[in-house]
Structure 1
Amino acid sequence: MAGLISGIGIPVLAFAVSRLALLLIGLLARDLAFVPEEYVWVYDERTWLDIWGVWDTGWFMSVMYNGYMIAVSTNPDTLSQANWAFFPLYPMMAYAVSELTGLSGYGALLVVPNLCFLAALIWIRAEAKALYGTASANWAVVFLCVMPGTHVFSSAYSEATFLLFIVGTLAMARKGHWLMTGCMAALAVLTKNFGVLLLAPMAVYFLQRNFTQPLSARNLISEFPGSGGRGELVRFAVSLVLPCLALGSFMLFLYFRAGDFLAFATIQSAWGRSMVLPIISLFSPLGPLVGNHGFTVYLWPNVIAAWVAVALCMALLLKRQWAHASFCIPGMVLLLSAGILSIFRLVLPLAPLWMVAGSFMAARPKLSWLLLLLILPAEALLMWGWALGWPIF
């Protein structure tokens, strides 16, 4: 009973305290520094709700209310952009909540991520406890609730939903529940496109569970179909098919809607995104030091987040968490190949990074408390900017 209480109580307490603190910071920002003429996002007359909606919130609302666009926008503020870039599951979930409860569409867009984040915290604590121990699990939960950018998990964005389905996929795969794994992975893919990278840790977990000898072509052939037998192999194969079907279905829909199977990717150029070498994104701050190009201060949170995420990817390798590393490392490569913009937000759902961070924090508690004292003001500043519409993400 004590384990159950701590498994739920600690995440609930961390969630409640951190969300209340963020709410107060947002309200204070609106009260002291708000300039209505410079703020274009107004989704609710109640300030305590309105502070959580900014930037991409409008795109999610457009999918929720109007479905996907047939052609790109001609509005000067969103010229050549389209909501094809935003995957359907999060706005669909919000629409269902709105219809079932009578909440406004914007209210539902806030309810979904907050419930998903709370559920993800509970699940992450359980997974981190199984992999790293109780103290590490508690630190992982606390870190997720106070880390710079954590306010996004409670905003009208899809990061919290993606976080839940990522940790769900990894947890189910580790336990060998392959059909549930496939369903979770399919839901992740329908939330963000790089959820398809979950196929890698699924395969790693399958091999670890079913093949006892060092992995090689000869051992795979000699032990085939593995200790789980053909039944588990079939269930694993089905689990791989489900997320592929999910992505393929959305791509087919986009082809009939927009005339492009990869519209979710090609439309990114309308936001100024283009493919670059990941190493260029990591070293982008050096540009102003060696050339004549400026580097806006708003990009620095993204650069810092990118380097921290890369370091934690290396930590996963040091901890021999092969399944988690097989997801996070390709994920970081993919994210960085699209440039440094929004990396700060996009790395937030990579649950394995924060679990391994919790393990290091548990091993060095005094240093970890000092770290918290440093990052709390950073997150307070970011929440302040979020409530005022700063172009951070």
Structure 2
Amino acid sequence: MAGISAIEQANPGSPSQSVAASPVETELALGDLAHANTGGRLWVIAASVPLLFMISGLVIRYAAFHSVSAVPGFEAYARGLCRWDCAWYVDISEHGYERFPIPGQSNVGRWGFFPLYPMLVTTLRFAFPFSTILIATITSMACSYAACLVAWPLLEKNVRAYILYCAFLLSGPFSFHFTTFLTEPLFVLLTSCVFLALKRSNYLAAGVTCALLSATRLVGVLAVFAMVIQMFEQHRQQGGSAVSFPRWVLGRPDMLVAIFISPAGLFAYMLFLYLTVGDGFAFLHVQRAFGRVAGDPLLFLWDGLAAVPTKGWLPTAPQWSALAAMIGLTLSVVLASRRRYGAALFCASSIILPLITNLASMVRYVIGLAPLLMLIAELLSVSKLTYLVILALFLSASYFMTLAWIGGYLALV
């Protein structure tokens, strides 16, 4: 066998002689061994980098929390960082969904918050004797760590880009979004899993993961379009035409199953709402109670940019949200220019869909798109100097942004 250096010993009296490995075989064996050792070291790095940033990020955010709170302890820290939508997910995990609007809260209901992550935390709460927010915080950190590991092959084992990506998720200026009870940690993890499965042409795995993604956030169902684009690209690479693509897909049961199960999470939630509330689209209809009304996305962007500060020079929350949407859409175009059409369409549509209602939470929505984060990491890692400067900025900004999050800065909602 190639790669094994051995001498075959002949039996006494046998005409066969000892056969020594040739120099070529020996060279191949040493090359394979070196490649295996290099691959092993890289995976050790891939596992260690996010772990280090998870620890450093926790230290930085806890220091920020401790500077404004006299209550010590990890659970107090977890509660201190549970802001805005986090409280809704805690309620869903502990009490489930109500059949009627919550009294005294302007007909607001929990139906706009999708169920997969609260269900996961509820399941873990039965297994571990800790509070909901404590379990959710640890689970979010674990999901973000896992998302980093999945990103390693997606980033083509680019060490600099990988370090920046891990730093952003676990120790960066928005790391509180990925380490508290919000859907971003699970959403980024599942999104990364979908694109890794597509990279490996494992469509069944992509379909199952997409189904979970559609039960995490509404825009998760849009990943099915990235899947279809990947199928089309594979068909074209094999010499097929656009006209023959539907017939080709019909001849692939794995692709058909993947496409049809992709929205299963969304459909299951709609069925649940229909049976409990009487309205399968309650997650859409309740948006009006939160101040989200369908309108012109361009007008929302213009209004956001026009909301200039009345004093000082720092941009207002609407301006930050509008800038985030514009940057996200621009990066989607960059993805398309690099022939990552599926990722580009997924990211652009995931920004435009919530933008149809207003700019609320737009910063969080944009930074929760894994393909955009990976692209940013790739772009900023080209130069070693830029890479080092950005890494330092990520770590230093984490402290101050955590203070802004705890203080209720509206742009970070």
- TM-score of the two chains, using structure 2 as the length reference: 0.82
State the match for 2:266 in structure 1. 247
Partners of 1:127 and 1:171 within 8 A in 2 = yes
Equivalent of 2:211 in 183, 186, 191:
186
Q: Secondary structure at the match of 1:176?
A: coil
State the match for 1:12 in structure 2. 51
State the match for 1:112 in structure 2. 139
Q: Secondary structure at the match of 2:262?
A: helix
Partners of 2:222 and 2:349 within 8 A in 1 = yes
1:135 and 2:160 matched: yes
Which one has a bigger Cα radius of gyration? Answer: 2
Q: Secondary structure at the match of 2:100?
A: coil
Give, in angstroms, the shift of residue 214 of structure 1.
7.2
More helix by share: 1
Give, in whole Å, the separation in 1 of the partners of 2:240 and 2:344. 17
From the superposition, tell whether residues 303 and 288 of structure 1 become closer, same or farther in structure 2 (CA, over 3 Å): closer
Q: Secondary structure at the match of 1:218?
A: coil
Give, in whole Å, the separation in 2 of the partners of 1:3 and 1:46. 35
Give, in whole Å, the separation in 2 of the partners of 1:356 and 1:337. 25
Matches within 5 A, 1:173-212: 173-212=198-237
From the superposition, tell whether residues 316 and 181 of structure 1 become closer, same or farther in structure 2 (CA, over 3 Å): same
Amino acid at match of 1:14: F
Give, in whole Å, the separation in 2 of the partners of 1:22 and 1:150. 9
Matches within 5 A, 1:129-168: 129=156, 133-168=158-193
From the superposition, tell whether residues 296 and 305 of structure 1 become closer, same or farther in structure 2 (CA, over 3 Å): closer
State the match for 2:30 in structure 1. none
State the match for 2:118 in structure 1. 91
Give, in angstroms, the shift of residue 189 of structure 1.
0.8
Partners of 1:27 and 1:47 within 8 A in 2 = no
State the match for 2:22 in structure 1. none
Give, in angstroms, the shift of residue 373 of structure 1.
4.9
Equivalent of 1:21 in 38, 57, 60:
60
From the superposition, tell whether residues 220 and 375 of structure 1 become closer, same or farther in structure 2 (CA, over 3 Å): same
Amino acid at match of 1:4: W
- TM-score of the two chains, using structure 1 as the length reference: 0.86
Matches within 5 A, 1:297-336: 297-336=316-355
State the match for 2:248 in structure 1. 225
Q: Deviations over 1:77-96 (max 9, x none)?
A: x3211000111111110011
Partners of 1:197 and 1:327 within 8 A in 2 = yes
Q: Secondary structure at the match of 1:191?
A: coil
State the match for 2:127 in structure 1. 100
Q: Secondary structure at the match of 2:93?
A: helix
Give, in whole Å, the separation in 2 of the partners of 1:234 and 1:71. 42
Higher relative contact order (CA 8 A, sep 6+): 1
Equivalent of 1:49 in 55, 66, 78:
78
Give, in whole Å, the separation in 1 of the partners of 2:241 and 2:302. 37
Q: CA RMSD in A?
A: 2.7
From the superposition, tell whether residues 288 and 120 of structure 1 become closer, same or farther in structure 2 (CA, over 3 Å): closer
Give, in whole Å, the separation in 2 of the partners of 1:280 and 1:379. 32
Give, in whole Å, the separation in 1 of the partners of 2:303 and 2:396. 25
Give, in angstroms, the shift of residue 376 of structure 1.
5.0
Give, in angstroms, the shift of residue 59 of structure 1.
1.5
Give, in whole Å, the separation in 2 of the partners of 1:161 and 1:102. 22
From the superposition, tell whether residues 259 and 296 of structure 1 become closer, same or farther in structure 2 (CA, over 3 Å): farther
Amino acid at match of 2:63: L
Q: Secondary structure at the match of 1:156?
A: coil
Give, in whole Å, the separation in 1 of the partners of 2:382 and 2:216. 34
Q: Secondary structure at the match of 1:217?
A: coil
State the match for 1:41 in structure 2. none
Amino acid at match of 2:197: M
Partners of 1:201 and 1:327 within 8 A in 2 = yes
State the match for 2:34 in structure 1. none
Amino acid at match of 2:349: P
Give, in angstroms, the shift of residue 378 of structure 1.
4.6
Instruction: Report the number of matched residues.
Output: 369
Which stretch of the first structure deviates more once superposed, 59-68 or 82-91? 59-68
Matches within 5 A, 1:220-299: 220=245, 224-225=247-248, 230=251, 233-288=252-307, 297-299=316-318
* Percent identity for Structure 1 against Structure 2: 22
Give, in whole Å, the separation in 1 of the partners of 2:305 and 2:407. 29
Give, in angstroms, the shift of residue 158 of structure 1.
1.3
Structure 1: give runs of 5+ residues left out of the alignment: 35-43, 290-294
1:123 and 2:159 matched: no
Give, in angstroms, the shift of residue 6 of structure 1.
1.2
Amino acid at match of 1:285: G
Which stretch of the first structure deviates more once superposed, 351-360 or 279-288? 279-288
Give, in angstroms, the shift of residue 369 of structure 1.
3.6
Q: Deviations over 1:145-202 (max 9, x none)?
A: 3443221110111110111111111111221222211111111111111100000111
Give, in whole Å, the separation in 1 of the partners of 2:197 and 2:360. 32
From the superposition, tell whether residues 58 and 270 of structure 1 become closer, same or farther in structure 2 (CA, over 3 Å): same
Give, in whole Å, the separation in 2 of the partners of 1:300 and 1:148. 18
